[in-house]
Structure 1
Amino acid sequence: MTPARLEDPMLPTLTELLTLPAFAGAEVVSGHAHLHEPVTWVHVSEVADAARFLTGGELLLTTGSLLASMNDAEQDAFIASLAQRGAHGLALELVQVFRDVPPALLGASRLYGLPLLVFREEVSFAALTRAAHARILHRAAPALDPGLAPLLDALAETGRSVAFLRAQLGPLLSLPARPRSTLLGTLDALLNTNFNMAETARRLSVRRQTVYYRLEQLRAMLPDLDDPRRQLGLHLALEITRTEAGEAISHLSGDRRAP
């Protein structure tokens, strides 16, 4: 049975994600009528039973290494399973394994209405997921209480934003880019759901056990995580990362690489 269609207006659609610079090389080869569907998360997957891990709304990225070992019927079944579990797209890199979309894969994606994207040049899946998740988490987060906006302005105007970030999120911001992004996104989701584990897992499209594991990591790095005053500081710090992310986070982490 196909999961109910997501209707969260705060989530970006596939059309919106395709406007991001990281997705500039994407070509839509099928499923144009479904590009308006909201995307909840982006996963890299090279397993045949990827569908069983989906909660609905995901965009999957693949090099095609697994698909190359499938016959036509298996490729059809693979696309059917993704569509039935509510996936909202599949992106295939046509570089190492395929030079063109396998006819059975293309036919199945058209049959089941699953958007199929292709990249005809090598692309960084890490860059794609990072860009998409930044948009997803930013749009999913509720607007900051207008009453707190003057505090952010004061921090910026007095040049204290970086020091404030260091005090609130220092241990997280010193991590490499990938775990840093993952834990910052998890912290943001936890704070915005009042630490509701089930809702946090749904927003992040991960299992609850994964959220518990990440929460233990966060508690080890951020003391007094249950203190409401501490949570307010973290809310403000996360808002700063959304408005001054490039300069502030690079300054704190020492990461000078281009995004």
Structure 2
Amino acid sequence: MLQNIVIGQYIPVDSPLHRLDSRAKILCLLALAVIVFLANEFWSYTALVTTVILFVVLSRVPLKFFLKGLLPIFILIIFTFFLHAFFTNEGAVLFSVLGFSVYSGGIEQGVYISVRIGSLVVFASLLTLTTTPIDLTDGFESFLRPFKRFGLPAHEMALMMSISIRLIPTLLLEADRILKAQAARGADFAKGSLRTRLETLTAFIIPLFVRSFKRAEDMATAMDARGYRGGEGRTKLRVLKWRARDTIACIIVAGVGVVLALLRDF
């Protein structure tokens, strides 16, 4: 399941979202991360879900791949739903389970919060699924460049952020391999006392850290062998260009925010 995480992966297809400037997509993601919290009633959440579906369709990422990748996130969403369903005491009592009364307001809040979390994950996933690592680094660097006057290494910071995002699926794949290898050797992470589980977990954490540091060392060696010395004096083969479609995309996202604000129940 761990290897199915979509955040950090890139799918090379031709779509309207792929053709957008990386800076426009980063701005849209930041705006959408705020916009999702404007929804607080049925029609505003309906508009939010419609926006999510529209963006997924425009990305042209295979739906089967997308659903498979979001499966691990569904566990968190389901947990959040039940947390609100059993501990939010608002509205009428629907039924009782094991001494817990489930209220209509709890079900409603559980659904709404789950939609928010799911929307945020989808929007974040679309950024990496539709943007190459180089364009993502250039986009981050473009926004960090004004802070160079204060001594901030913009290029190095952008590169570090991009590498960190791209390493998420790689490290998850490594974690999945270690879990399977330890399970094949008889390790059981679900049984035994708390102390036994912690000791067993050590057999997973230590190899994961060792492999992570080894991968980081190999990457540093490769960059050094290619003459990487930071951003000073470096030129770019592909220069980012802001086009009319990027402006239109930002306007559309702003329009979504206005719609949600108008539908918001004050």
Larger RCO: 1 or 2 (CA < 8 Å, sep 6+) = 2
Structure 1 and Structure 2 fold alike (TM over 0.5):
no
**Larger fraction in strand:** 1
* CA radius of gyration, larger in: 2
TM-score, structure 2 as length reference? 0.27
Higher helix share goes to which structure?
A: 2
- When normalised by structure 1's length, the TM-score is 0.27
